[in-house]
Amino acid sequence: MSASLLTNMVTVNEAKQKIIANTLFLPTERRQLRDALGQVLAEDILSPISLPSFRQSSMDGYAIVHSDITFGGIALPIAGESKAGQTGIQTLAPGTAFRIFTGAPVPDGATAVVMQEHTILENGHVTIQEFPVNEGKNVRNIGQQIQAGVVALPKGTYITPGSIGFLQGMGVENVSVYRKPKIGLLVTGDELLKTGEPLVHGKIYESNSAMLIAALKQEHITDIEVRYAADDLDSTIAALTELSVDNDVILATGGVSVGDYDFVGVALQSIQAETVFYKVRQKPGKPLLFAKKRGKLFFALPGNPASSLVCYYEYVLPALRLITGRRDAFLKTLKLPAKYAYSFNGERDEFLKALVEGGAVIPLDGQESFALRSFALANAIIYLPMTQNVVAEGDLVEVHLLPF
């Protein structure tokens, strides 16, 4: 690896700030609303209608004029019925009641709905046992949820199932969103075997690709191209060149440290990718490289699986969210008490696989960079800066919640 790559390590915060400074939004596209889950709105959505668009009952019961009920036990003749989906406009005369159902139009003239549990039906009359009945009770007014013409969801909103249901309820069919990135994934390492191949001495099963693909799919990113390269420079250059043609973000696992067979850094130089930073003052995941070329982003991740996944969550995931318009790019952060004491030598910030449980956070066993079992059990990462290298039981620590 050339001397130009052997720069001083950046801090965790510096690395994140450099990622923020070097990411641009991807182009927008129009999507059918039902297919836009997990994307971010690239425009304000104005409500085309008011919701509800008519006065609507929120209960099964009886529509009445509230001022008719001057005391409990008043019996009113039933003059009609309103059911959900009914389109004709009906009018309620004072001194009468309409049988009505949840979601049905409230007749003109009616000012309240009494739920059926507070009534007695007998001989075509309904006895209202409730008193007083307040005006507007159990009636959803026109535009109570939203008025026509106002912003229903602003630009930058992350589309959830709730978002889709809300917009669908207004008759919205398609939306402008930021495109999801195309991902190129390079796996390096002559020691790696694919699942199904016989295990031999000196070889290990490759797991990083499946792990990272799963993490990407969790972000609704499915356009992923995977390539494998032998531990030699020409193969690595060729693979990175091919992956950078059609993809927006290229991830490489392994081959980024300073060993004799680590060629990813040099290969990125060879394809003229500009290194933004190389090496982060952290454990695990120190040999992380971030580069760019004509709007494309390159992340060279450590080969050790736990290191690779830490770097994905702390750096790659925020970049993927930023380029797709998300405002909440970084993992949700809390301050929680540590259930157990922990200490380290303080030379680098540390990320610990952890479990949030019962209002506290537990550092898990197996924090080595190769160990994934603890990640399989974790729902969070503890971030300990060098200045907090001794943690006593009950001390507050910074916790990053993993996405689920």
CATH architecture assignment, domain 3-26+180-323: 3-Layer(aba) Sandwich (3.40)
CATH class of 56-140: mainly beta
Q: Under CATH, what is the fold of the domain 333-401?
A: Beta-clip (2.40.340)
**pTM, to two decimals:** 0.89
Q: Is the pLDDT of residue 238 over 90?
A: yes
Task: Please give the share of the chain, as a percent, with pLDDT higher than 70.
Answer: 97
Residue carrying the six token digits 């009950």: 394
The string of pLDDT tens digits covering residues 96-124 is 999 999 999 999 999 999 999 999 999 99
The structural domains of the chain, with segments of one domain joined by +, span 3-26+180-323, 30-51+144-178, 56-140, 333-401
Amino acid identity at 108? D
Strand-pair category, 349-357 with 380-384: antiparallel
CA gap 177, 400 in Å, rounded: 27
The string of pLDDT tens digits covering residues 177-225 is 999 999 999 998 877 778 888 888 888 778 899 999 999 999 999 999 9
In terms of CATH, what superfamily is 30-51+144-178? Molybdopterin biosynthesis moea protein, domain 2 (3.90.105.10)
φ/ψ region of 209 (left if φ > 0, alpha if ψ in -120 to 50, else beta) reads alpha
What is the C-alpha radius of gyration for the chain, rounded to an integer number of angstroms?
30
Distance in angstroms between the alpha carbons of the first and the last residue of the chain = 38
